[in-house]
Amino acid sequence: MQSVCRDYHTGQTVVRALIDADLEVGAGEYLAVVGPSGSGKSTLMHLLGCLDTPTSGSFRLNGEEVSSFDVNRLAEVRNQTIGFVFQRFHLMPRSSALANVSMPMRFAGLPAGQRQERAMQLLHRVGLGDRVHHRPSELSGGQQQRVAIARALANDPRLVLADEPTGNLDSSSGQEVVRILEELQQEGVTVVMVTHDENLAARTSRVVRMLDGRICSDTASPTGC
């Protein structure tokens, strides 16, 4: 990202959610984005995940200028290059864990047999091999988040974006989720995580701090704005 801004219009009011953001994330990094509510963290995450596009500035993903992507190309990038893990899980409530994990592969056009086999492998990887046919309501919060991580990995993404992944979990479940994210980074996946948890941020290799829509520090060790 170079000089990236994101403005939102509410009637006659312009809200500058992100201001002149310069950020470079290399392959295989483990990065935390930290800041108070309203600091621009979610806006930054949405832009990184191609869920939104900048008002101005340049954002290049894998060397390609995102502003040149049409709607179909943005959807393809989100499906095949990026995995998302959300605080509130966003699982399909009436579908099994297996079906939830299989869904991104369905959109990618994988045959049913391959989808089921890979979904089973991913659920076993996150420790839910005995819960593949359970619906979200039959799973604990920590188990639901592990289903969400398995779903994020469905199409073997190069980048995983985790937005407060431990925010709704007890400490034990949160530690398990963090362990999985750290394993992914050790395997070469780029992990960018938004968090309010300073202890969690300290476990990453790099911390970006935000305040009032701006990146105010970018360091290898946690420091205040």
What pTM, to 2 d.p., does this model score?
0.90
Which pLDDT does position 221 carry in this prediction?
A: 62
Give the tokens for residue 106: 């369905």
Q: What is the CATH architecture assignment of 2-219?
A: 3-Layer(aba) Sandwich (3.40)
Name the CA dihedral angle for 106, 110, 112, 114, rounded to a multiple of 10 degrees: -130
pLDDT in tens, 92-149: 999 999 999 999 999 999 999 999 999 999 999 999 999 999 999 999 999 999 999 9
Mean pLDDT of the chain: 92
Identify residue 100 by its one-letter amino acid code.
N
pLDDT in tens, 170-221: 888 889 999 999 999 999 999 999 998 888 899 999 999 999 999 999 998 6
Portion of the chain with pLDDT greater than 90, in percent: 83
